[in-house]
Amino acid sequence: MSSDAIRIERPTTNSKLFAHTRWDVVPAAGGLFHLAYFLGLYLLFPHAPLWVMLILGFIYSLMVNANINGVGHNFIHNPFFRSKLLNRLFGITQSIGCCFSQTLYDAVHMQHHKGNSDRQDENGDTVDWLSIYRHSHNDEAENLWSYVFLSFFRDDVGAIRAELRKRKNGDVFWGNIELAAFATTLLIMAIIVPTTPIHFINWRFILFFLPFWYLGHCFSYLNGYYRHYGANPDKPIAWGVSSYGKIYNWLFFYNGYHAEHHFRPKVHWTKMEKFRQSISDLQKQEGVRTIRRAHMLGFLDPDLPKRGGHRPQIETAEQSASG
């Protein structure tokens, strides 16, 4: 089977609201629930015991990871709604809930697909700004912990804006709106203590919230690391590493099928399982790597290749399944 001849099935719907399928109501509702949860943290903080808030804050961190890699990710590749305005408004809700810009994330993620976690070129640079090889040495993947905890601070906003300007479609304007929306939300939360009567200067909530916000994005980078660690940047069908756990993929809207996603990024999440079945023989032939754990727990997988002075050994999906 030729990889160039593979066709993907695109869902269609007669819905006047949704662009691809009515099933997109599920990730859309998930994104809105995340926003409501974030606002709920703020409103509950003055009234709940600290131990309860610490648990809820950790759950928020996990939700940031699931939102970015599930809802937000699918929204980039297959925007949910027919209306461009409705898609823009949903992007604002995503930006407030995750405290970042969905549109700037779009630019970074599209650059990720241009490079597909590529290795450094002769100038020590990578096309993919998120590549696990971008800040590495000796042609090996970067150390896991530096990638997870430092990537949050590495975004080049100037380069991201330059990429958005090339699109000439209003993305720069809407990116600024999203940044202003979540910054204004945090400012209001930092000023107003939601008690009766209202008090001012809510420093305790901000001190509580910021570490969990940061942790959520670190979880996202942890996911990203193991979606490419042990993959083959030189083979399109093996650009990613897949994990097929059902609950994991339900929660992340099939982004666990990551080798499949990088091979054909426009496959809708509702079609991913069927797409995998159609290319499974070719994947085995080309050595697509899989892991047994959800990507965020990839460091627990027993078959991970060792970091060292050599490129990772790529095993086939069939070998991984039988190991």
Strand (E) or helix (H) holding 192: strand 192-193
Note the pLDDT of residue 320. Answer: 40
- Residue 6's contacts (CB-CB under 8 Å, 6 or more residues apart) are 264, 278, 279, 282
Strand (E) or helix (H) holding 193: strand 192-193
The distance between the two most distant Cα atoms of the chain, rounded to a whole number of Å, is: 69
pLDDT digits (tens, 9 = 90+) for 47-97: 999 999 999 999 999 999 999 999 999 999 999 999 999 999 999 999 999
**Residue 214, beta-bridge partner list:** none
Note the pLDDT of residue 122. Answer: 92
Note the pLDDT of residue 316. Answer: 43
Q: Which residues of the chain have pLDDT under 50?
A: 309-310, 312-323
Rounded to 5 degrees, φ, ψ at 216 are: -60, -40
Note the pLDDT of residue 319. Answer: 43
Percent of the chain with pLDDT over 70: 93
pLDDT digits (tens, 9 = 90+) for 127-152: 999 999 999 988 899 999 999 999 99
**Helices 157-167 and 102-115, axial angle in degrees (round to 10):** 90
Q: What is the overall mean pLDDT for the chain?
A: 93
Structure tokens that stand for 61 in this block: 């961190």
Note the pLDDT of residue 4. Answer: 54
